[in-house]
Structure 1
Amino acid sequence: MRVFGSSGVRGVVNDDLTPGDATDVAQAAGTVWRAGGVDRVAVARDTRRTGPMLVDSAASGLASVGVDIDRLGVVPTPGLQAYAEREGVPGLMVTASHNPPEYNGIKLVGADGVELPRERLEAIESRLLDEAPHRVGWDETGTSRSVDGAARAYVDELLAAVDREAVAEAELTVAVDPGHGAGAVTSPDFFRRLGCRVKTIHAQPDGHFPGRDPEPVESNLGDLRRFVHATDADLGVAHDGDADRAIFVDERGDHVEGGAALAALAADALDEGDTVVSAVNASQRLVDVVEAAGAELSLTPIGSTYIVSRIRDLLATGESVPVAGEGNGGVLFPGYRIARDGAYTAARFCELLARRGEPASALAARYDDYVNVRRDVAYDSERQREAMLDAIERAAEESVAELDTTDGYRLDYGDGWTLARPSGTEPVVRVYAEARSADRAEDLADRLHDAVSGIRVD
């Protein structure tokens, strides 16, 4: 089991992550929470086949340390976060987000509806690894109750937070692709109530994800692209498994690069002196937008935990952070909530289309000066992983590019950049590249990909 990586605990179920692991994590979290006066925790899940099993295990762990459990059932991660903030209770989300069906995981949320900061996670991890949980007597164990309506209440809050009138007047047709994940129980209803004509694909909750893999990358969105074109939709919206991300397809059925969507949303939200938080793989599109606005860009390691922590730190010093996020569709609007929310992000994009009165393709075209490439190289053991990272380090040191080691190895060549780093959620090394032409982006990706793809260990 990997403990609290870049986005919580994740692993292949009954291999890297067992029911016993879920119980242990919940006991450790419950012990730390209870020491702080917490006696109730909300638990929710996405649609994965193993979700009910792990929810039961986590609930048992929480009950054993004297914590009561509010069982929300299937809701998006931002739906759990909304409930946690509304009720003033911490939350435990059983999800593996964009990972394949065999994975699952656990994400922890504070009573403010925000992912726990690193120091809080470290306290829980210390309890998990070094100390026994504080189990209570039989007559003090926690109880569970089922909570109805969490999904509906989340949609109500979304509607109150966006310009419903402007979107409704634009009479947009939106094709929603929840990818069989938790967004299937909320996003179609949300966009209908927002005043859009809604078409759906892969909208049946199903933990086997039969229509497409949970990650909303371009290679997985062929069905949505064809569906948008066939239905004359104005916009396609694709979520990951827990619907905290949104990736778009324009009215022509073309994929909108996530970095372009983030740049468009940032350009709309930024004023001079503001700060944007993003990860070290931030697109040059975002850099250009930030510079044009007279704002600042603060880069973090990849992963929502790091971005959330940086936002908290900046807000605490009085900085204005109207928007943050990554080019994978995980966007945050801290004025709404310091949380990634796929439905809210999509609604903000719809607002932008409504105000501009232009199609999604025209909006995206303003930020299409760059081409992105991503490749994954799998490893089978920790020794192979270390050998691959050693090879990347040698390649980086031999290059003539400017090196950034905030997270992995990012090489900036002036006319493009490439980055290699181990994933925090899967046993792969990811290689990213960006340049103004496809050939140049491919060439830059090849340099680091070739350095690691042939690595083998005995």
Structure 2
Amino acid sequence: MDVFGSSGVRGVANEELTPSFALRVALAAGTVWDAERVAVARDTRTTGRMLANAATSGLQSAGVDVDRLGVVPTPALQSYCEAAGVPGVMITASHNPPEYNGVKLVGADGIELPVTELERIEEVLVAESFETTRWDGTGSDDAVDGARRRYLTELLAAVDRDRIADAELTVAIDPGNGAGAFTSPEFFRRLGCDVVTVNAQGDGHFPGRDPEPVVETLDDLGALVRAADADVGIAHDGDADRAVFFDETGAFVEGDTTLAALAAAELEPGDTTVSAVTVSQRLVDVVDRKGAELELTSIGSTHIMTRIRELREAGETVPVAGEGNGGVIFPSYRVNRDGAYTAARFLELLADAPASEVLAPYDGYENVRVNVPYETDAERDRLVDAIADYAEAAEGAEYTTIDGYRLDYGDAWVLARPSGTEPVVRIYAEARERSRAATLVEDVKERLRDALDGS
């Protein structure tokens, strides 16, 4: 897919992702969908209303009525779509910087569209084979109240409220000025937790921190955990479909560690879990110990969800899946990422022991990640060629090409791949020793810099 990347389509708002483009994406979706109504929602980004208006116009031009949900987390839109039996359009760039925005498409079952349906919509979009209606058949649009309340009610019914309440937890929450600011603090209070917050006002400029919840942006949350003597810290991305954590000491928890802990609590012999090619050895260790199977996909929620659906249709049991970026999926709840639900399931584990003890069995690996930016398609092509040359010349490593090039050395691995949402090549590495992972990353990074310099 050239338009729909690893998780929808994204770009710098009003430059790459213009209102006219958002309109055409929505019109293409309205052309393909056999739907009388479609829900449209957005996160807090300053360009969200503009692009939601454009998407609404595109859908109306196809003769579709629009339910406008306003600012909600992506999982709240997905919840609404499933309950109402309507597809949805989410205007969000998730973890990308404030200047970005995007379009994510959701089916009437509340699940992000599989690759095959996205490809059908992309074909209509590229060919501009839109089906519009006469003036007297254009759709209406109506504001919908209560989407957040309905989502919170669903969340509360889906988790073990008594177990969490009995643990008497103090929870520090950083929604990052994103859509989760309107739902997560209330959700955890209603679960019986004492809640303290930072960056809990919705603001599309993201003044508190960048939307991506990574260790470099979350100093304030770690400090809040320590100051409030909290049991756990929770951070979301811009649309709150991801959750990352701090333990009770105020130490950042690698997302791969959390995924491994949650998987260990869910997997049984014979089960299957799905993750991306960035999978940590932590999850591999859990899968081996549990007698389960691991399926790998390209990076991005779209690919993981598509594979989960395929496996379940084939009769496989997939109780948990996801990536180490905080995007965990519990398919029995919904085949989507949901940051608040993931956090609540993590709190259930804290009823028995402090976070640091719960996570200790899955520690022992170090992760290093860097980005190498590029400006033109020609530079991107040079970087991709350099990655291939590096992999083929590497000694003592086996490599796979599911998504980019992943080189496994036995004691460590490194992956280099172009981002599906930003003009960067991402480099990831993991090893028992941080210095080993850092050396692998720096070696690949140096090779890519040489390619950009023409040497």
User: Which deviates further from its counterpart, 388-397 or 279-288?
Assistant: 388-397
Q: Distance in 1 between matches of 2:261 and 2:344?
A: 13
2:354 is the alignment partner of 1:359:
yes
Q: Deviations over 1:159-199 (max 9, x none)?
A: 00000000000000000100000000100010000111000
Aligned to 1:312: 309
2:8 is the alignment partner of 1:8:
yes
Q: Distance in 2 between matches of 1:131 and 1:232?
A: 56
Q: Tell me how far 1:216 sits from its aligned partner.
A: 0.3
| DSSP-derived class of the 2:245 partner | strand
| DSSP-derived class of the 1:351 partner | helix
The residue identity in structure 2 corresponding to 1:409 is Y
2:341 is the alignment partner of 1:329:
no
Aligned length, in residue pairs: 453
2:403 is the alignment partner of 1:415:
no
Aligned to 1:451: 447
**Map of 1:387-406 to 2, 5 A cutoff?**
387-400=382-395, 401-406=397-402
The residue identity in structure 2 corresponding to 1:88 is G
Aligned to 1:338: 335
Q: Tell me how far 1:365 sits from its aligned partner.
A: 1.7
Aligned to 1:292: 289
Pick aligned residue for 2:158 from 137, 157, 161: 161
- Cα–Cα, structure 1 residues 87 and 301, in superposed 2: closer, same or farther, change >3 Å? same
Query: With structure 1 as the length reference, what TM-score do the two structures score?
Result: 0.98
Q: Distance in 2 between matches of 1:419 and 1:138?
A: 52
| DSSP-derived class of the 2:3 partner | strand
Structure 2 unpaired stretches of 5+:
none
Contact 1:30 1:67 in 2 (8 A): yes
2:221 is the alignment partner of 1:224:
yes
Contact 1:376 1:429 in 2 (8 A): yes
Q: Distance in 2 between matches of 1:311 and 1:381?
A: 35
Q: Distance in 2 between matches of 1:71 and 1:343?
A: 22
RMSD over equivalenced CA pairs, Å: 1.0
The residue identity in structure 2 corresponding to 1:390 is D
The residue identity in structure 2 corresponding to 1:434 is E
Q: Distance in 1 between matches of 2:134 and 2:453?
A: 50
Q: Distance in 2 between matches of 1:232 and 1:247?
A: 18
Aligned to 1:371: 366
Runs of 4+ in 1 over 4 A off after TM superposition: none
Q: Distance in 1 between matches of 2:2 and 2:41?
A: 21
2:251 is the alignment partner of 1:254:
yes
Q: Distance in 1 between matches of 2:242 and 2:175?
A: 10
Q: Deviations over 1:379-426 (max 9, x none)?
A: 000100110111111110111201110000000000010000000011
The residue identity in structure 1 corresponding to 2:26 is A
User: Which deviates further from its counterpart, 186-195 or 358-367?
Assistant: 358-367
Aligned to 2:423: 427
2:120 is the alignment partner of 1:123:
yes
Q: Tell me how far 1:453 sits from its aligned partner.
A: 2.4
The residue identity in structure 2 corresponding to 1:21 is F
Q: What is the percentage of aligned positions where both structures have the same residue?
A: 64
Q: Distance in 1 between matches of 2:54 and 2:108?
A: 21
Q: Tell me how far 1:131 sits from its aligned partner.
A: 3.4
Aligned to 1:383: 378
Q: Deviations over 1:289-311 (max 9, x none)?
A: 00000000000000000000000
| DSSP-derived class of the 1:115 partner | coil
Query: With structure 2 as the length reference, what TM-score do the two structures score?
Result: 0.98
Aligned to 1:279: 276
| DSSP-derived class of the 1:4 partner | coil
| DSSP-derived class of the 2:208 partner | coil
The residue identity in structure 2 corresponding to 1:448 is V
Q: Distance in 1 between matches of 2:403 and 2:299?
A: 7
Q: Distance in 2 between matches of 1:432 and 1:18?
A: 31
Q: Tell me how far 1:454 sits from its aligned partner.
A: 3.3
User: Which deviates further from its counterpart, 311-320 or 435-444?
Assistant: 435-444
Q: Tell me how far 1:2 sits from its aligned partner.
A: 6.3
Contact 1:2 1:11 in 2 (8 A): no
Structure 1 unpaired stretches of 5+:
none
